[in-house]
Amino acid sequence: MADLSINFAGIKAPNPFWLASAPPTNSGYQIMKAFEAGWGGAVWKTLGVPVINVSSRYGSINYRDTRMMGFNNIELITDRPLADNLREIEEVKKYFPDHAVIASIMVESKKEWHQIVKDVENAGADGIELNFGCPHGMCERGMGSAVGQEPDVLKLIVEWVKEAASTPVITKLSPNISHIIDPGMAAVQGGTDAISLINTIKSIIGIDLDSYAPYPVVDGKGSNGGYCGPAVKPIAMHMLKDLAQHPEISKVPISGIGGIETWRDVVEFILLGATSIQVCTAVMHYGFGIVREMEAGLRQFMDDKGYNTIYDFAGKALPNITEWKHLNLKHKVIAEIDKNTCIGCDLCYIACEDGAHQAIALSGDVSNRIPNIIEENCVGCNLCSLVCPVENCITMVKKDDGTESISWEERTLNDDVPVTFNDDRAGGKGHFVPKPTDALKAKTNS
Ligand SMILES: Cc1cc2nc3c(=O)[nH]c(=O)nc-3n(C[C@H](O)[C@H](O)[C@H](O)COP(=O)(O)O)c2cc1C
Ligand code: SF4
Ligand code: SF4
């Protein structure tokens, strides 16, 4: 049976499933309940000088029938006194000595950083996470993402913390920056033992059409919030990949955060180099019990593939993620419709006709709504298979024989790329497009 235990920069945990610093880790009660449910670690709701929060605090994007596809908050760090939190950290560690309890911290001055590091370590925290991510409220006070966006300041604070810390230090990065390598490098140069990312993305989730204020509305006004949940997973994975591929930054372990909800999400983050994962929104939505599906799915995946520990496959996707210029321009796929499973909804036809390359034809017979691919027009863009509501009804079939390969970079070196506006070497040269006036005929016929 697979061994799910981890040693993350010296922090040991029975499994890689950690709660992210957020409302689910606000108290010892919640964290004990989570550990009982199966979570291997928890990053305590950020500790510092306690705040005063507003009401309400959350907003969401409900996309079609999916609630909280994206989630947004204007909550700050903990509003509970430090002494209460420290007492509860001590208690949790008494009951769960083998689980990871990490104290997230955020303060201002060097003296405060030194003091709070000592306080949380004395309470028994196994590690420290530095919150340089909060994109609302705290950044206005020179903390949170205000630090995450300033690599020099970030490095200085990591150095301060490392002066005082005897447990491992995880630097949590903000995604509100165009080049994640800069804060990542600053954290490593400051001596961080590990990195975690992402914190929330600065955002406006929506506008109330009566008060004209952004959600969540606080007495007729609103503020930008931090975006998270399933919608941010692709952004988080891209930033994780950037860090995990970097020769210097990848020397420290990375905890992946952002939109993780299922075992598959967990596996994807591990394949991109994360060796622990953290979850907030999915737990706020469905509760601590989701860890059971995560664990069962991860175990099944590892058994199927023959992996004993997560380190056997951590980062395995990284060599396959390259720059566009290295992709094989000779690789050719086209769409194929499985006529046995097609339900004749014609969504693929509309998508290809109006949004792609006019490569799907209807039969013209109202009693037969199953469309046909016009192979010579199909560029293999994939849109039809993405819109098709029937799983695997449209597949992309390989048409090249795999013997030829040339990339944009190689073509550039061979001096064989389009360089003029009407260059014959353009990819779309000679490719079928209907005459503009055929659009009018289509309207007349309909
Ligand atoms: C309501 C709320 C409060 C949060 N509070 C904190 C916090 O105190 N400290 C922190 O580092 N991150 C905080 N976060 C960010 C989460 O830890 C996490 O980085 C982010 O939500 C992305 O993960 P997710 O997509 O699983 O939610 C908060 C997120 C939410 C939704
Ligand atoms: S792959 Fe693209 S071009 Fe080909 S049929 Fe589908 S939508 Fe049209
Ligand atoms: S979208 Fe899928 S199910 Fe609908 S007509 Fe096209 S192939 Fe058939």
Q: How many whole angstroms separate alpha carbon 359 and alpha carbon 384?
A: 10
For residue 393, the CA-to-ligand 2 centroid distance in Å is 13
Ligand having the closest approach to the CA of 131: 1
What pLDDT was estimated at residue 148? 82
For residue 386, the CA-to-ligand 1 centroid distance in Å is 31
What pLDDT was estimated at residue 442? 65
The ranges of the chain with pLDDT < 70 are: 442-446
Ligand 1 atom closest to the Cα of residue 131 is 11
How far apart, in Å, are the Cα atoms of 112 and each of 89, 117, 161? 19, 8, 10
356 within ligand 3 shell (Cβ under 6 A): no
What pLDDT was estimated at residue 443? 58
Is 345 marked active-site?
Answer: no
> Which tokens is 381 given?
């863009």
360 within ligand 2 shell (Cβ under 6 A): yes
Residue nearest to atom 3 of ligand 1 (CA): 22
Which of 17, 19, 21 most suits a substitution to test ligand 1, by most atoms within 8 Å of the C-beta?
A: 21
> How does DSSP assign 255-271, residue by residue?
EEESS--SHHHHHHHHH
Residue nearest to atom 1 of ligand 1 (CA): 73
How far apart, in Å, are the Cα atoms of 147 and each of 143, 151, 240, 311? 6, 7, 19, 32
196 within ligand 1 shell (Cβ under 6 A): no
For residue 245, the CA-to-ligand 1 centroid distance in Å is 25
Confidence (pTM) = 0.96
Alpha helices in 366-437 (DSSP H): 383-387, 408-413
> Which tokens is 267 given?
């596996």
What pLDDT was estimated at residue 141? 75
